[in-house]
Chain A
């Protein structure tokens, strides 16, 4: 092996990665720095040096009666976690149904799900609001996570993943071993699907965490608001009370759970599940 070119390549790779890392982390850094600065300081401009207003900003965020941050975090966590669990589990279940069983309406069912995939949320929003009003779910958290049960994009991802990683022999082997269909799904299919579930759980969690559109339509009680609505409310506060340090602090608080979730689940994505049951 020639040492010099590979050495040069390593250097270039590092430079590129450092630039990318910098681009990614720069905004986080500015965000966190600004969360420690006071409103006047931020208005003066850019700074890489943290200020001394961290505790002050934190206190003013937590003590604002109009912005119930703690319950906002709680609501967001409930909604996002349930969305992630429901979306991944039920999408995997649906995908499994279409992948492992043969029945007459299999093709139409698949096409139907794919059609929903191309329909934007905004189109069906009015009907959705109508529906949940009639069901008495307006101004509750249910409409924020229950619809995740039907997630066509997640379904499609699961379906593709099964095609590549779930040999039907495994299902057959489980059947012969005396496993019921549901038991097979939970004990054989789900563990094999772990990497796919983790990836989709992150996406579902993050998109639900960031979701503003539906909660803004559905929720009116302050105590039931999720973080994105609170951030929006804070930003549109009247000019006199407007405090950039407070806004940055709230945003910082809002991204922490996402980072934690990502770190917690990324292990599964990177490690993957050992696939050796079937001869490659």
Chain B
């Protein structure tokens, strides 16, 4: 049981490319941390540095309070689930799961108990004698999880473990992994680029871009208070709408003007931006069609390019004042494509960003 600490960690590959320029991250003991970010941002690299599969160019990595830079993977007491399973093809499911235990000289009957325990949780009992080749993708995935579970590692590392599964199985495995975390009480580091996985599973989420941590916070905080445009756009589906708005002085604060819309905000930080353009962020669900939300000036009258009916709600792809937006409204208020709709912006829920630095105001 141990936390993980990165102190000014740098990773430069042999070809001279610096993938992680300066990483500082503190993962607490027993925490479920999710690393998210676009493809190629260095998530796997970070995870592999924890595992010891990738050398650390500079800086320090601690697991617990032990400096790990020079410790071989086999001595780190970690378990890892690889994206493409990496099961030993010549060994049965049972032998795959006991491979590490045999090396650790765990007594035979204890080994058997552990495998039984893991197989029961994962529903693998009927397959223990099979070779990986004779299993479906989802079953292989579970074997990979089981192989990690039986080990009682200090840290559990998972690199996009669900990316090869179909939607239904993915949902199922998601909750299984969450349960597993609660049951084991071990530190989990989970890499994904699927934000649903990130939001539903993580105690805290670390959003990365180009090897730099953008924000490291709880899912709720990331959603409600994104620190910059990148995080705001990355978390949430459909994506947050970003609108260029002029800041003007008005009664009771500042008006954010675009098209015919004037959204009044009382944020004092806007003083510095008077007369300039800021980026106004509004989540699709904070555009409302219900009458009760309409106030003076906060409405937009937009043309619907396309509508996607999802059942209980509908996604409307809008065009307003030359900018594209998405609204997510209850199905009964929705209109169809090529119609006009009037929507109110929930002023309480707007996000403001500096146009130059892209940071939250």
A219 within 8 A of B: no
Report the Cα distance A183→B99, complex, angstroms. Answer: 11
Report the Cα distance A274→B92, complex, angstroms. Answer: 11
When the two chains form their complex, are residues A173 and B82 in contact, meaning their CB atoms are under 8 A apart? Answer: yes
When the two chains form their complex, are residues B74 and A176 in contact, meaning their CB atoms are under 8 A apart? Answer: yes
Interface centre among A102, A191, A194, A279 (most CB of B within 10 A): A279
A169 within 8 A of B: yes
Total number of A residues with any Cβ neighbor in B under 8 Å: 25
When the two chains form their complex, are residues B73 and A273 in contact, meaning their CB atoms are under 8 A apart? Answer: no
When the two chains form their complex, are residues A174 and B99 in contact, meaning their CB atoms are under 8 A apart? Answer: yes
B134 within 8 A of A: yes
Within 8 A of B (CB), among A72-93: none
Report the Cα distance A278→B90, complex, angstroms. Answer: 12
Report the Cα distance A276→B140, complex, angstroms. Answer: 9
B124 within 8 A of A: no
List A contacts of B85 (CB < 8 A).
277-279
A59 within 8 A of B: no
A178 within 8 A of B: yes
B73's partner among A176, A188, A275, A278 (CB-CB below 8 A) is: A176
Task: Look across to chain A and name the residue whose beta carbon is closest to the beta carbon of B132.
Answer: A276
Report the Cα distance A277→B144, complex, angstroms. Answer: 10
When the two chains form their complex, are residues B82 and A179 in contact, meaning their CB atoms are under 8 A apart? Answer: no
A170 within 8 A of B: yes
A167's partner among B14, B84, B151 (CB-CB below 8 A) is: B84
A221 within 8 A of B: no
Contact digits for B285-306, partner A, Cβ 8 Å, 1 yes 0 no? 0000000000000000000000
Total number of B residues with any Cβ neighbor in A under 8 Å: 35
When the two chains form their complex, are residues A169 and B104 in contact, meaning their CB atoms are under 8 A apart? Answer: no
When the two chains form their complex, are residues A169 and B86 in contact, meaning their CB atoms are under 8 A apart? Answer: yes
List B contacts of A278 (CB < 8 A).
84-87, 89
Contact digits for B130-153, partner A, Cβ 8 Å, 1 yes 0 no? 011111010010000001000100
Known A175-B53, A176-B78, A176-B80; judge A277-B100 contact (CB<8 A).
no
When the two chains form their complex, are residues B99 and A276 in contact, meaning their CB atoms are under 8 A apart? Answer: no
When the two chains form their complex, are residues A276 and B134 in contact, meaning their CB atoms are under 8 A apart? Answer: yes
Within 8 A of B (CB), among A182-211: 183, 188, 191-192, 194
When the two chains form their complex, are residues A279 and B72 in contact, meaning their CB atoms are under 8 A apart? Answer: no
List B contacts of A173 (CB < 8 A).
80, 82, 86-88
**Distance from A166 Cβ to chain B, minimum over Cβ atoms (Å):** 10
Contact digits for A252-279, partner B, Cβ 8 Å, 1 yes 0 no? 0000000000000000000001111111
List A contacts of B232 (CB < 8 A).
none
**Distance from B189 Cβ to chain A, minimum over Cβ atoms (Å):** 13
Known A177-B103, A178-B103; judge A277-B72 contact (CB<8 A).
no
List B contacts of A176 (CB < 8 A).
51, 53, 73-74, 76, 78-80
When the two chains form their complex, are residues B88 and A188 in contact, meaning their CB atoms are under 8 A apart? Answer: yes
Report the number of A-B residue pairs with Cβ-Cβ less than 8 Å. Answer: 94
When the two chains form their complex, are residues A172 and B90 in contact, meaning their CB atoms are under 8 A apart? Answer: no
B164 within 8 A of A: yes
Within 8 A of A (CB), among B291-330: none
When the two chains form their complex, are residues B14 and A276 in contact, meaning their CB atoms are under 8 A apart? Answer: no
When the two chains form their complex, are residues A102 and B84 in contact, meaning their CB atoms are under 8 A apart? Answer: no
Known A175-B74, A177-B100; judge A276-B88 contact (CB<8 A).
no
**Distance from A88 Cβ to chain B, minimum over Cβ atoms (Å):** 17
List A contacts of B51 (CB < 8 A).
172, 176
Contact digits for A145-179, partner B, Cβ 8 Å, 1 yes 0 no? 00000000000000000000001011011111111
List B contacts of A194 (CB < 8 A).
90
A180 within 8 A of B: yes
Task: Look across to chain B and name the residue whose beta carbon is closest to the beta carbon of A188.
Answer: B88
When the two chains form their complex, are residues A276 and B100 in contact, meaning their CB atoms are under 8 A apart? Answer: no
When the two chains form their complex, are residues A276 and B84 in contact, meaning their CB atoms are under 8 A apart? Answer: no
Report the Cα distance A139→B42, complex, angstroms. Answer: 61
Contact digits for A92-106, partner B, Cβ 8 Å, 1 yes 0 no? 000000000010000
**Distance from B101 Cβ to chain A, minimum over Cβ atoms (Å):** 9
Known A274-B131, A276-B132; judge A178-B89 contact (CB<8 A).
no
When the two chains form their complex, are residues A279 and B84 in contact, meaning their CB atoms are under 8 A apart? Answer: yes
When the two chains form their complex, are residues B73 and A279 in contact, meaning their CB atoms are under 8 A apart? Answer: no
List A contacts of B84 (CB < 8 A).
167, 169, 278-279
When the two chains form their complex, are residues B90 and A274 in contact, meaning their CB atoms are under 8 A apart? Answer: yes
When the two chains form their complex, are residues A172 and B74 in contact, meaning their CB atoms are under 8 A apart? Answer: no
When the two chains form their complex, are residues A277 and B89 in contact, meaning their CB atoms are under 8 A apart? Answer: yes
Interface of B toward A, CB cutoff 8 Å: 14, 51-53, 72-76, 78-80, 82, 84-91, 99-100, 103-104, 131-135, 137, 140, 147, 151, 164
Contacts A277-B85, A279-B164 known; list 18 others, CB within 8 Å.
Answer: A169-B82, A172-B53, A172-B73, A175-B72, A176-B73, A177-B100, A177-B103, A178-B103, A188-B90, A191-B90, A273-B89, A274-B131, A276-B89, A276-B140, A277-B89, A278-B86, A278-B87, A279-B140
Q: List 10 A-B contacts (CB under 8 A).
A: A174-B99, A175-B73, A176-B74, A177-B147, A177-B151, A191-B91, A274-B133, A276-B131, A279-B137, A279-B164
Q: Which 4 A-B pairs have the closest CB atoms?
A: A276-B133, A277-B89, A177-B100, A169-B86
